[in-house]
Amino acid sequence: MTESSKASHQSDPSPASKDTPPPPPSASNRGQGPRRERFPLHWQILIGLIIGGLLGWLSGWLALRRTGWTTEAADVVVERLEYIFYQLVGDLFLSALFVIVIPLITTSIILAVNNIASRSRFGIIGLKTIAYYLSTSTIAILIGLVLVNTIQPGVSSGPEPLLTAEQAERFEGERQDMERRLGLPEGRAEGTAFLNTIRDMVPRNLVVAAATNNILGLIIVSMVVGFFLSRLKGRQGEVLTDFFEAIYSITLSITHVIIRLAPIGVAALIATTIALNYARLAPDDRFIDLLRGILLFSATVVGALLLHFGLVLPLILYFVGGINPFKYYHAMAPALMTAFSTASSAATLPLTMKCVEERAGVSRKTSSFVLPLGATVNMDGTALYECVAAIFIVQAFGYQLDFMQQLFVVVVALLTSIGVAGVPSASLVAILVILQSVGRQLEAQHGVVIPLETGVAILFVFDRFLDMCRTAVNIFSDSCGAAVIARTEGETDLLVAVSPSSKLAS
């Protein structure tokens, strides 16, 4: 531990550091930093991505060859033994991550708020966190808005619109499958569905909230518990604090074991994704007329995400936090690769916290408050995608939105991105909400019924890949927020590697 970190710990003790002093250095490790891995985890995950991609391509190619390159290949590939095996391994890995998310989020939030509130910093850090999240999400949406209006991927080069209601009906199977997986009633998303985010803030039953993955509600409850725990004096407060510390330590230990298996889980997830999509898209001629627009739409989304990921967030890191962006990219590499492969902010949260604390050097009291909250309410990539996708579909039907209608899309995209479930493709619900609202405005303006929501299904062509990209942007924005807020709170040891044992005392 450096002199600056010693001073930081002495001036800002947490409940754990008061009772559990850091162990003295032994003769074997005295003068040495944390033990370096012989083969860093991010390289292991990268190799897993490559191997998984090759295995998925091979499985899809074998299915296509067996069916003579027909549309039946998608049905064949899901029945192949290797695909079933990849799916099993990937599901087990995701389930292992999800099972520790709830105890990790609740205990980390409770302990972080308890620590912050005891020093009368709860309101200040909370305001900084919300201000950062709203600012970066708004910037991301505006980047997407500028690009989609400049490139206009949905505008047809001919006299006919890129997409008609008849063409959209071709994708009815994909749309129904999406609605079934996301639990939409009667094939419709209610126009006021974004209000459910506010309702979810106060869950009626904590067990049901945990079972239904209502992370936002659990975060709010955990913040309340942590705040009043800081006001609980005497033996009762100490016992409860020790209880939550013990659960957090156990969860962290389990997290380390699961993360060691990340390269295998990532390989399996990528293999199933590529195998199914390659077998489904290679022989399908439904997309010939739409291919240019869909490819241009995908390029617009990726370009906007890259601008936010590679320009906006690094500038915030450098000018606001005084942090070297290149070193920070390296510190977050394992979490970025896992987010890319799982397409789930919630599943990646344990690894995100590990990278931010142990590789970036952010204190636990900051990361435990900022990151779980960010995994639920800070969705830069998702908000950007919702805006671009909604305007693309309107363009594809041959219409244009005026300034006030586009402003409406920006506001709704920002609101619906808050609380969007951190699971794959959940943002499509928000896109349906936006399209139904915009569709009613266009119907009143033009006097015709415009089935905009039927166009959502064409997003499935490249949705999985784009979902992986925007999830990586989401978790990187969360991690940047933790680092910037830590810097504004006076933390000076950022990007100094810290061992897990010393992190528990911070």
pLDDT tens-digit readout, 207-248: 888 887 777 788 889 889 988 998 888 888 899 999 999 998
Residue at 502 is within a domain: no
- Cα angle, residue 365 at apex, residues 375 and 215 outer, rounded to 5°: 25
Q: How far apart are CA 162 and CA 151, in angstroms?
A: 15
Average pLDDT over residues 440-462: 73
Q: What is the pLDDT of residue 72?
A: 84
Nearest to 486 by CA among 163, 66, 116, 160: 116
Hey, which of 345-349, 379-383, 449-453 has the most confident mean pLDDT?
Answer: 379-383
pLDDT above 90 covers a percentage of the chain that reads 27
Is 8 part of any domain?
no
Kindly report whether the global pTM for this prediction surpasses the value 0.85: no
**Domain containing residue 348:** 37-494
Tokens at 400, concatenated: 């244009």
Q: Is the pLDDT of residue 500 over 50?
A: no
CA dihedral over 481, 482, 486, 489, signed as positive or negative: positive
Domain assignment present for residue 411? The answer is yes
Which residue's structure tokens are 């363009």?
395
pLDDT band at 59 (very low <50, low <70, confident <90, very high): very high
Residue 254 has pLDDT above 70, yes or no: yes
Higher pLDDT, 373 or 239: 239
**Which pLDDT value is given to residue 24?**
43
Quick check: 1 pLDDT over 60? no
What is the count of structural domains for the chain? Answer: 1
22, 501 Cβ separation under 8 angstroms: yes
Is residue 485 included in any domain, yes or no?
yes
Q: Do 219 and 202 form a contact (C-beta atoms < 8 A)?
A: no
Distance CA 390, CA 416 (A): 13
Q: How confident is the model at residue 172, as a pLDDT?
A: 55
- With respect to residue 25, please indicate whether it lies within any of the assigned structural domains: no
Report d(CA 163, CA 38) in Å as an integer: 53
In the numeric block, which tokens belong to residue 41?
A: 């985890």
The tokens for 256 are 């380390």
Structure tokens belonging to residue 350 = 């344990």
> Could you give the maximum distance between any two Cα atoms of the chain, in Å?
82
Of residues 35 and 335, more confidence is placed in: 335
> Is residue 22 scored above 50 in pLDDT?
no
- CA distances to 45, 104, 268, 345 from 101, rounded to whole Å, are 20, 5, 21, 10
pLDDT, greater one: 345 or 290: 345
pLDDT score at 41: 76
Tokens 């899901």, located at residue? 78
Q: Which of 170-184, 203-217, 250-264, 354-368 has the lowest mean pLDDT?
A: 170-184
- Amino acid identity, position 263: P
Q: Which of 474, 473, 495, 131 is nearest to 322 (CA)?
A: 495
Would you state the pLDDT for residue 462? 73
Instruction: Tell the burial category of 186 from Cβ atoms under 10 Å away from its Cβ (0-12, 13-18, 19+).
Output: exposed
- Please list, residue by residue across 414-434, b when 16 or more beta carbons sit within 10 angstroms of its beta carbon and e when fewer do: bbbbbbbbbbbbbbbbbbbbb
In this structure, are residues 461 and 365 in contact, taking their beta carbons and an 8 Å threshold?
Answer: no
CB 454 within 8 A of CB 359: no
pLDDT over threshold 60, residue 447: yes
Residue 1 lies in a domain: no
Q: Which residues contact 173 (CB under 8 A, 6 or more apart)?
A: none
Which range, of 135-149, 262-276, 430-444, averages the lowest pLDDT? 430-444
Contact 273/471 with Cβ under 8 angstroms? Answer: no
Closest CA to 355 of 375, 336, 376: 336
Q: Check residue 29 and give its pLDDT.
A: 42
**Token match 């972080």: residue?**
112
- Determine, yes or no, domain membership for 282: yes
CA angle 388–390–394, rounded 5-degree value: 115
Q: What angle do CA 213, 48, 471 make, to 5 degrees?
A: 35
- What is the C-alpha to C-alpha distance for residues 32 and 41, in angstroms, rounded to an integer? 21
User: How many CA atoms does the CB half-sphere of 168 hold within 13 Å?
Assistant: 20
* DSSP three-state, residue 270: helix
What CATH code is carried by the domain that includes residue 254? 1.10.3860.10
Dihedral, CA of residue 413, residue 414, residue 419 and residue 422, to nearest 10: 70
Decide if pLDDT at 303 tops 90.
yes
Q: Is residue 6 part of a domain?
A: no
The stretch 394-419 carries a mean pLDDT of: 83
**Which of residues 294 and 203 earns the better pLDDT score?**
203
